[in-house]
């Protein structure tokens, strides 16, 4: 197990090339792949997106600064962004175009579609999962529709057949519920 | 804006903002709050980021397939190769120093993510990147020393960095070349195998062609033998045909002889050889009524080349009238046995005389040159002669 931090590894990419990328790949490609598959539902496309994200890190590693945030967050946000771009290209419409809720989107919006080939889960991941698991199904569905589906409130309302206000309320309540859960976990005040 | 003045709603909007689930109008309010430099805005953003991360962390990780890394490695290798080529071109020009890293920039990677045009959720600072300020230390030394030291350190770092990256690149290139070589070797082996099969097929075809050639030659030989046999058969058939014709002639002559001998009023004349051919003897059977005759002779001498015998009636007053030319019968070849009993120098001729022929005085045989020109009388020696009554 390599003890070097993510930032150290990014700094080493220019000198060590793919050896440093390999360590980051081993660390984060599983969660990136999970995210991209959650959005795209197609394993081959998801793999391409994840590899593209690493290529971007590889090419721009010289521009990366420790002050800019966590490498993991950067890779995940990049993966989400690229995956949503692909999803929109596939739908061949503008970003906020309202599309029909097809089987693929349905699977995207469905919670708990988890692969089973993972044996060990980190303690931190378990805690994070507990935060999401605290959500009522309708709130979780609304949040995931926005985050993984890249949909606007209006689009989510149309797809779910719910009033716009209801959808907005569910997303907001869900996020607050998650935040409060984290605050309680970390012993912070809820106010 | 102070903590007391911040509406509770703004904290909630920050959550929506981080989760990319905010309306554009609300988004503006959040961005203004962040731009105000309020530390609470940054804290709210950090908290919201954790909430979003918890959403991501709840995903069950998926183990990537092995070939996924191989594809990525190949891509990086190609990029390094292309970059190395660019660097080589640059170093040939008048660039001052080589670097494998792009120049520092205010653009950071997180900001380059194509998303909504706002401050990145992940960025906890918007300050430009600044390295360690060496200026304060440099002021302790004279300017030129600082410059030399800085240049030396920079050169050493640059060379070291170059050598390291070059070694890494070379090692990748070697691996890449090795993989290419392996692939080429495999392809070569496959081609060689195909060549082997083709050579084998070619040999089989050659053998088949040779067998066919032999069969053709054999058939050709057989055809030659058959053609030869046919030629011999034709030749024999022609000989048989000649023989048949000869025998038919003789049969006709014999028939006429028999008829003449048995017919009433037929005159028989003995014809003797002259001093030119004293041994020759002959007999003429003459039917004056029918103007038909048969003449046979024996002991005639063999004809010299270009000569023939000619039979004549000598009449008065018309003179000699030719009755035709004749040759000796041959007793050679396959018919020798059959003609063994026939005397050498034998000849027989059966013919008709002109119907208006009168005043026959004698019959004669002369030796004449073979010629198409009709003769009015004997030109050569008279070899046989007999008077007619």
pLDDT in tens, B143-176: 555 555 556 666 666 566 656 666 776 777 777 7
Residue of chain B nearest A153, judged by CA positions = B21
Q: For A124-164, what is each residue's pLDDT tens digit?
A: 777 778 888 889 999 999 999 999 988 888 999 999 999 99
A21 reaches B (C-beta below 8 A)? yes
Instruction: Say if residue A48's pLDDT is above 90.
Output: yes
A35 reaches B (C-beta below 8 A)? yes
Instruction: Say if residue A190's pLDDT is above 60.
Output: yes
A38 reaches B (C-beta below 8 A)? yes
Q: What is the number of alpha carbons within 13 Å of residue B112 lying toward its C-beta?
A: 15
A150 neighbourhood in chain B, CB within 8 Å: 20
DSSP state of B372: S
B43, B62, B120: best to mutate for the A interface, most A CBs within 10 A: B62
- pLDDT for res B255: 82
- pLDDT for res B111: 38
B55 neighbourhood in chain A, CB within 8 Å: 132, 143-144, 147, 178
| Token reading at A149 | 């589906």
Closest among A76, A83, A13 to B110, alpha carbons compared: A76
Closest among A157, A158, A189, A186 to A171, alpha carbons compared: A157
Rounded to 5°, angle at Cα A140 from A136 and A144:
175
Exposure pattern of A23-52 as b/e (b: 16+ CB <10 Å)?
bbbebbbbbbbbbbbbbbbbeebbbbbbbb
DSSP run (H or E) holding B196: helix B143-262
DSSP state of B343: P
Residues in chain B with pLDDT values less than 50: 1-4, 92-142, 332-336, 340-343
Closest among B109, B106, B153 to B134, alpha carbons compared: B153
Q: Do A128 and B58 touch (CB under 8 A)?
A: yes
The Cα–Cα gap between A162 and A172 comes to 15
The Cα–Cα gap between B194 and B198 comes to 6
| Token reading at B289 | 């009524």
| Token reading at A161 | 């057949």
Taking the CA of residue A103 and the nearest CA in chain B, the distance in Å comes to: 20
* ipTM score over 0.85, yes or no: no
Residue of chain B nearest A135, judged by CA positions = B55
Q: For B271-315, what is each residue's pLDDT tens digit?
A: 999 999 999 999 999 998 888 999 999 999 999 889 999 999 999
Question: Which neighbouring-strand residues pair with B308?
Answer: B368
| Token reading at B323 | 């009755």
Residue of chain B nearest A24, judged by CA positions = B69
Residue located via tokens 């070797």: B185
The Cα–Cα gap between B339 and B328 comes to 12
The backbone torsions φ and ψ at residue B285, rounded to the nearest 5 degrees and listed phi first, read -105, 120
C-alpha B334: how far from its chain's center? 58
- pLDDT for res A24: 92
The backbone torsions φ and ψ at residue B307, rounded to the nearest 5 degrees and listed phi first, read -120, 160
- pLDDT for res B188: 86
B273, B326 Cβ separation under 8 angstroms: no
The Cα–Cα gap between A61 and B207 comes to 68
Under DSSP, is residue A49 helix (H, G, I), strand (E, B) or coil?
helix
CB neighbourhood size of A97 (10 A) = 11
Question: Based on the number of CB atoms within 10 Å of its own CB, is B211 exposed (0-12), middle (13-18) or buried (19 or more)?
Answer: exposed
| Token reading at B346 | 């034998």
Question: Which neighbouring-strand residues pair with B297?
Answer: B282, B347
Domains and CATH numbers, chain A: 1-102 (1.10.1740.10)
DSSP state of A189: -
pTM: 0.45
B77, A36 Cβ separation under 8 angstroms: no
> Order of strands, edge to edge, in the sheet holding B360-369?
B319-326, B307-315, B360-369, B382-387, B266-273, B281-287, B292-298, B347-352
- What is the gyration radius of the CA atoms in chain A, in angstroms? 18
B168 neighbourhood in chain A, CB within 8 Å: 15-17, 19
The Cα–Cα gap between B308 and A61 comes to 129
Residue of chain A nearest B59, judged by CA positions = A34
């Amino acid at each position: 197990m390599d003890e070097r931090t993510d930032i150290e590894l990014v700094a080493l990419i220019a000198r060590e090339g793919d050896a440093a990328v390999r360590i980051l790949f081993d660390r984060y490609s599983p969660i990136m792949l999970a995210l991209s598959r959650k959005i795209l539902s197609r394993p081959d496309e998801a793999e391409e997106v994840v590899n593209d994200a690493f290529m971007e890190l590889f090419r721009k590693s010289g521009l990366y600064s420790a002050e800019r945030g966590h490498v993991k967050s950067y890779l995940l946000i990049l993966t989400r962004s690229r995956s949503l771009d692909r999803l929109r290209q596939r739908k061949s419409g503008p970003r906020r175009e309202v599309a029909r809720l097809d089987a693929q989107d349905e699977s995207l919006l469905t919670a708990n579609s988890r692969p089973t080939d993972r044996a060990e889960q980190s303690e931190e991941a378990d805690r994070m999962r507990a935060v999401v698991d605290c959500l009522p199904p309708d709130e979780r569905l609304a949040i995931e529709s926005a985050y993984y589906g890249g949909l606007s409130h209006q689009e989510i309302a149309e797809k779910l057949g719910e009033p716009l206000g209801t959808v907005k309320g569910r997303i907001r309540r869900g996020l607050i519920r998650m935040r409060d859960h984290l605050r309680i976990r970390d012993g912070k005040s809820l106010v | 804006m102070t903590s007391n003045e911040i509406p509770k709603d703004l904290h909630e909007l920050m959550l929506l903002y981080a989760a990319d689930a905010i309306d554009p109008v609300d988004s503006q309010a959040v961005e203004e709050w962040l731009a105000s430099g309020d530390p609470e805005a940054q804290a709210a953003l950090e908290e919201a980021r954790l909430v979003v991360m918890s959403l991501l962390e709840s995903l069950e990780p998926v183990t990537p397939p092995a070939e996924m890394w191989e594809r990525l490695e190949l891509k990086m290798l190609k990029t390094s190769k292309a970059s190395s080529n660019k660097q080589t071109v640059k170093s040939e020009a008048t660039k001052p120093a080589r670097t494998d890293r792009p120049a520092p920039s205010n653009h950071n990677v997180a900001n380059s993510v194509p998303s909504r045009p706002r401050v990145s959720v992940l960025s906890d600072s918007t300050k430009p990147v600044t390295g360690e300020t060496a200026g304060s230390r440099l002021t302790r030394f004279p300017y030129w020393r600082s410059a030399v030291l800085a240049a030396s350190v920079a050169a050493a770092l640059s060379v070291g960095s170059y050598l390291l990256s070059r070694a890494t690149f070379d090692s990748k290139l070697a691996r890449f070349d090795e993989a290419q070589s392996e692939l080429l070797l495999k392809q070569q082996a496959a081609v060689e195998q195909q060549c082997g099969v083709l050579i084998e097929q070619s040999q089989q075809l050659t053998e088949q062609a040779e067998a066919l050639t032999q069969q053709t030659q054999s058939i050709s030989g057989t055809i030659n033998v058959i053609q030869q046999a046919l030629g011999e058969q034709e030749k024999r058939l022609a000989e048989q045909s000649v023989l048949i014709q000869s025998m038919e002639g003789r049969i006709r002559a014999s028939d006429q002889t028999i008829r003449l001998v048995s017919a009433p009023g037929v005159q028989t004349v003995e014809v003797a050889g002259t001093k030119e051919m004293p041994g020759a003897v002959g007999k003429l059977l003459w039917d004056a009524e029918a103007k038909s005759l048969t003449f046979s002779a024996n002991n005639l001498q063999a004809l010299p080349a270009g000569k023939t015998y000619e039979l004549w009636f000598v009449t008065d007053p018309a003179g000699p009238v030719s009755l035709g030319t004749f040759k000796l019968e041959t007793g050679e070849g396959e018919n020798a046995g059959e003609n063994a009993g026939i005397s050498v120098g034998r000849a027989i001729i059966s013919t008709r005389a002109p119907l208006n022929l009168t005043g026959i005085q004698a019959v004669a045989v002369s030796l004449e040159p073979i010629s198409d020109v009709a003769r009015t009388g004997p030109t050569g020696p008279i070899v046989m002669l007999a008077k007619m009554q």
